Amino acid sequence: MHTRARTLLTAVNGTTGAGLLLAWLSGATVRRGRDGVLIAEGYARRVPAATCFTVGSVILTRRTADWLLDERRTELFHHESRHAAQYATLGPLFWPAYWASCGWSYALTGSYGARNTFERRAGLAGGGYVEKPLRPWMARVARSPGQRRARPGS
Ligand SMILES: [Zn+2]
């Protein structure tokens, strides 16, 4: 998705407005970022605990904009920018879809990110997530149906 289209869509669908409102309510300072994404630095609320999170085309961070724009954080910046593209596509539906995906991931692995489709598509490693194996009971359920049908009477 073109960065201009992303910026425009997140403005029109209201998610960037929500991000700016959250930045203002939390006392964060909004700075120009890169590729049409704004950075709200100095976010200090306890929730979410992450160093960075994105709402519309606004990346809210506990650190500074310079910290996030440093070339050592390129992957993290791209990860958060891909979330902005997800907001451009889904608009406010991003939130229920994201939380459902967190629940799904947690049920499967005990991690909110590992099997979360939004985090996977944004790039797990870039967001600081690691692959996690399925929980043992889930791994049994996920086995092929043929294996389960093999035992007669069960
Ligand atoms: Zn993420």
Q: What is the pTM of this model?
A: 0.89
Assess contact for 104 and 112: CB atoms under 8 A.
no
For the residues 115-136, what does the mean pLDDT come to?
95
- Tell me, in angstroms, the distance from the centre of ligand 1 to residue 27's CA: 22
Dihedral sign for Cα 97, 82, 18, 28, please: positive
Span 92-113, pLDDT tens digits: 999 999 999 999 999 999 999 9
pLDDT classification of 124: cutoffs 50, 70, 90: very high
**131 CA distance to ligand 1 middle (Å):** 14
- Between these two residues, 153 and 141, which has the higher pLDDT value? 141
| Cα 14 to ligand 1 centre (Å) | 20
Residues 48-87: tens digit of each pLDDT: 989 999 999 999 999 999 999 999 999 999 999 999 999 9
